[in-house]
Structure 1
Amino acid sequence: MVALPVLLVVVYGLCLLFILGFSAGQWQLTRLALRAYASPPPLPPPAPVAGEWPRVLVQLPLYNEQNVVERIIDATAALDYPSDRLHIQVLDDSTDATVRLAATRVAHYASQGLSISHVRRSNREGYKAGALRHGLLENTDEFVAIFDADFVPETDFLRRTIPFFLQDAQVGVVQTRWGHLNEDESLLTRLQAFGLNAHFLIEQVGRTFAGFFINFNGTGGVWRRACIDDAGGWHTDTLTEDLDLSYRAQLRGWRFVYRPGIVAPAELPAVMDALKSQQFRWTKGAAETAHKHLGNMWRSQQPLAVKLQATFHLLNSTVYVVIMLMALLSVPLVFVRAQYHEYKVVFQLASVFLVGFTPLIYYYYTAWRLAHPNKPLWRYPGFFLLFLSISMGLALHNARAVVLGWQGRRTPFVRTPKAGTGGSARRRRYRTGGVGALVLFEGVLALYFAFGLAAGVYFDDFGLLPFHSLLTIGFASIFYYSVRHNR
């Protein structure tokens, strides 16, 4: 019978080692990013003289976006770029009032002399990737800018990004940093901004500085058309077509430029079902892309450091599987600790889960200070713990997505609903799912971890109390918001 508790501790310990490795990777990227920020900023490339700006295609992939379709068309129509060198494609796969709204705005700007087209397909084959690929069949422009429906690019976006391509013929992508139009709308949007800022202010900066692979983020960036074609075009076999094409292009030798100083503002999901649909795509798509490209990466001629960092990058989403396994094992571990006193030292070592998260404190703190340099320090610890708790609460949802991705199970591309400036009434136009079995199970898990918390108090063993507190709050919050936002 002793073998079972020992096995429990061993598996739990292996999970801790994985978390520690994940955290160490984030710590490394933080150090690299700080070195990048400490270096003299590169001079912006010179802009071409008038009449020598290259032709640019702006693609706007849409699917049922009546809340924001007019906003994104208006924003791209206002781009400050030579009108004879610019064409806007509204790639509209919609089945609702979006079609009429888009057609009206396109006709309005076309009547003013803007080169703009409303592109419709007979089916939604390949979802976003299929729409982007279809649009390229009708155009041969040298550069392609892509904006999702929730973005509002600044008028000088193209004038600030295109010169990077003209400076270096090997540049295949210029990616910009996402801004947040509605960061202060709710606690949910503030937490999302907190996490996204770490990606855009630390991860992308650190990887770029070290010469590691980065990823086009699906929107808010520009591609060289020759790079897309050379890498094989848009594929439809993953839910993260952006990450997939990014790796194929960089394996072909194309260079990616990331400019955090150029910001593309966008809307954050403000309701839980929208956030979950986005998280599902990102985590499942990352697993699908890892399954597709890890072998190619290790068979390539890339330096070992690049291969290792790419492996860490592609397996990022796997952390949710490990967190979920740790969480499930942690409750019986409370009872094993209480019964098997001869293994007390081993159990105490296993319970020090916070060691694995320590580098994350540094990672997110650095991003938080870069994003909000004037906020008082005392506000960070509580906000970080709340972010960590909510992230743990998403572990079941995201772990399921990762497992489906590794299994190769095909699932549809579920759009992330946007509300624009209309608030909750407009959000209810689109739903990505009701309160299903998974949501109910998240509620059950909140009770399960609360039971583990109570058991630790009962046995006067507080080693796992911080972990169970975060898990209880996290799963209870996810369950609460999932139910509340589906009323």
Structure 2
Amino acid sequence: MIVVEILVIIIYGLALLLIFLYALAQMSLLLNYLKSKKIPDTSEQFNFSNPDEIPLVTIQLPVYNEMYVMERLLNNISKIDYPKHKFEIQVLDDSTDESLETTANHIQQLQQIGLDIKHITRTNRIGFKSGALKEGLKTAKGEFIAIFDADFLPKKDWLLQTIPYFKNKKLGVVQTRWSHINRDYSLLTKVQAFALDAHFTLEQVGRNIQGHFMNFNGTAGVWRKECILDAGNWQADTLTEDLDLSYRAQLKHWDFKYLEHVETPAELPVVISAVRSQQFRWNKGASENFRKSFLKVIRSKNVSFKTKIHAFFHLLNSTMFLNMLVLAILSVPMLFIKQHEVYNLYMLGLGFFVLSSVMFFVFYWYMYKTIYGKGLKNFIGYIGMFFTFFTIIMGFSLHNGIAALEGHLGKRSDFIRTPKFNINTITDTYKGNKYLKTKTSYNTVFEGLLALYFGFGLYSAFTITQHGDFGFFALHFMAFLGFGYVFLRSLRLSV
């Protein structure tokens, strides 16, 4: 029995250590972000008052069965402010439903008003999104390739704000910040926005300003066509082709530019099945890219040690869900193990890792106040959002942890698109959406069981000794609520 106890303590301690080191890396990015505010942007830019400096641009719109948002997407893109003879639009349409015909009709109407827009279709979906992008690149006329997913709505001056930076001939990518048109639709969208806002402020700026590897986010960015080809073109051997190409390009010494001030509105998934498919793809893809790229980063003689450290945690980001799951599950037996006095010193040592929570609290607060502002009212709102966020992501830790594990083990799976709903305001509804999945996964069953498991942990806090032991109570309470929320929301769409 004592061997099992020691094994539990060691694994628990290792999970805590990795989370602590990850928190330190995030704090490093926060410090980089704060320093960036004192550094003026002196980037060279094209002078668009000189027509000869305005380059040719191709806008690629990779779509697949986007019946509810295609009209919105095409109408929005048709209003882009850029000389008409200097840009073309490729609708890379792999659709297999009635949206294929309605999209073709809409494109014909836009062609009649003088827009250079082409409807490119394939008889198969080889390579999924990366395959479509690669196919379009063969005939793309543009020197620069702007990419937007179907749920993105770039502003009219988007190209005017991004393309000028490519006067720097070493610049391979310009990435812009996502914003969210339906942030306040539900608790689920608020949590997603909270997580994405941290990535698109502190993380992207923190990496980019110090020359660490960052990533093109799959949409709302522009590539130099030469950079794509030089880095080996789009490849479909991971579920996150954007992260893959980003690392290959930076290993080829191409520069990346992140523009926090250029905002690109988009729609967040509003149902949990859509969030599940998106999260699974992102987290598994990150692990696949860790396997594919990290050793290349380590072996590169032109990459600094600090950049290698940040690349490690960047590519291992999704594995934190696995650590979180291990930490939560082992915390219940740890509640019983810690009653033995022989482990008292070790337990005191583990308390040091409370600092991880403090660092995450500070990290996310800087993001929150950047978007919502300072003040007591906003700080109180932040406290509630911070704990809600960690409660919900703990509920997703089984689903995302399995995705990360599959990626590390090399298990292949298809690219599952995230369904779009055309949800713009709180009064819009997704009922009747034909792309909704209603089948309950095995993960949902286990999430329900985990909610009961952590309910037992809560009960044990009161009964384990005469006066109780509430050292893990907050963790178990958040895990109970998180897994319960994910279980019930998933079940509601399955009955």
TM-score relative to the length of structure 1: 0.97
In structure 1, give the amino acid aligned to 2:481. I
Residue of structure 2 equivalent to 1:132: 133
Counterparts in 2 of 1:325-340, with a 5 A limit?
Answer: 325-338=326-339, 340=340
Residue of structure 2 equivalent to 1:466: 474
Residue of structure 1 equivalent to 2:114: 113
Q: 1:387 aligns with which of 386, 389, 408?
A: 389
In structure 2, give the amino acid aligned to 1:263. E
Label 1:190 to 1:197 Cα distance change in 2 as closer, same or farther (>3 A): same
Q: CA offset at residue 43 of structure 1? A: 6.7
Residue of structure 1 equivalent to 2:216: 216
Task: Report SS of the residue matched to 1:292.
Answer: helix
Counterparts in 2 of 1:6-405, with a 5 A limit?
Answer: 6-42=6-42, 45-52=45-52, 53-166=54-167, 168-301=168-301, 302-338=303-339, 340-350=340-350, 354-373=354-373, 376-405=378-407
Q: CA offset at residue 187 of structure 1? A: 1.1
In structure 2, give the amino acid aligned to 1:244. D
Deviates more, 1:352-361 or 1:101-110: 352-361
The answer to whether the 8 Å contact 2:238/2:289 transfers is yes
The answer to whether the 8 Å contact 1:331/1:449 transfers is yes
Label 1:246 to 1:30 Cα distance change in 2 as closer, same or farther (>3 A): same
Q: CA deviation digits over 1:281-330, x for unaligned, max 9?
A: 11000000110001111111211111111111111111111111111211
Q: C-alpha separation between the residues in 2 aligned to 1:290 and 1:344?
A: 37
The answer to whether the 8 Å contact 2:274/2:418 transfers is yes
Q: C-alpha separation between the residues in 2 aligned to 1:91 and 1:247?
A: 24
Q: C-alpha separation between the residues in 2 aligned to 1:436 and 1:43?
A: 49
In structure 2, give the amino acid aligned to 1:284. K
Q: C-alpha separation between the residues in 2 aligned to 1:435 and 1:382?
A: 30
The answer to whether the 8 Å contact 1:201/1:367 transfers is yes
Q: CA offset at residue 432 of structure 1? A: 4.2
Q: C-alpha separation between the residues in 2 aligned to 1:468 and 1:94?
A: 44
The answer to whether the 8 Å contact 1:238/1:288 transfers is yes
Q: CA offset at residue 48 of structure 1? A: 2.4
Q: 2:444 aligns with which of 420, 436, 439?
A: 439
The answer to whether the 8 Å contact 2:45/2:166 transfers is no
Q: CA deviation digits over 1:22-71, x for unaligned, max 9?
A: 11111110111011123335478353234321111000000110110111
Residue of structure 1 equivalent to 2:408: 406
Label 1:420 to 1:426 Cα distance change in 2 as closer, same or farther (>3 A): farther
Q: C-alpha separation between the residues in 2 aligned to 1:310 and 1:140?
A: 34
Task: Report SS of the residue matched to 1:264.
Answer: strand
Residue of structure 2 equivalent to 1:477: 485
Counting matched residue pairs gives 485
Q: CA offset at residue 486 of structure 1? A: 3.6
In structure 1, give the amino acid aligned to 2:418. T
Alignment partner of 1:415 is 2:420: no
Q: CA deviation digits over 1:149-187, x for unaligned, max 9?
A: 000000100011110002x00000000000101001111
Task: Report SS of the residue matched to 1:154.
Answer: coil
Q: CA offset at residue 355 of structure 1? A: 2.8
Task: Report SS of the residue matched to 1:429.
Answer: coil
Q: CA offset at residue 470 of structure 1? A: 1.0
In structure 2, give the amino acid aligned to 1:431. L
In structure 2, give the amino acid aligned to 1:475. F
| Unaligned ranges ≥5, structure 2 | none
The answer to whether the 8 Å contact 2:17/2:353 transfers is no
Task: Report SS of the residue matched to 2:265.
Answer: strand
Q: C-alpha separation between the residues in 2 aligned to 1:351 and 1:453?
A: 20
In structure 1, give the amino acid aligned to 2:379. L
Q: CA RMSD in A?
A: 1.6
Q: CA offset at residue 148 of structure 1? A: 0.1
Q: CA offset at residue 350 of structure 1? A: 3.4
Q: CA offset at residue 433 of structure 1? A: 5.4
Q: C-alpha separation between the residues in 1 aligned to 2:44 and 2:486?
A: 44
Q: C-alpha separation between the residues in 2 aligned to 1:186 and 1:108?
A: 36
The answer to whether the 8 Å contact 2:369/2:378 transfers is no
Q: CA deviation digits over 1:67-101, x for unaligned, max 9?
A: 10111111111100111111101111011121122
The answer to whether the 8 Å contact 2:91/2:118 transfers is yes
Q: C-alpha separation between the residues in 1 aligned to 2:179 and 2:338?
A: 47
The answer to whether the 8 Å contact 2:154/2:265 transfers is yes
Residue of structure 1 equivalent to 2:454: 449
Deviates more, 1:35-44 or 1:313-322: 35-44
Task: Report SS of the residue matched to 1:268.
Answer: coil
Deviates more, 1:224-233 or 1:293-302: 293-302
Label 1:179 to 1:425 Cα distance change in 2 as closer, same or farther (>3 A): closer
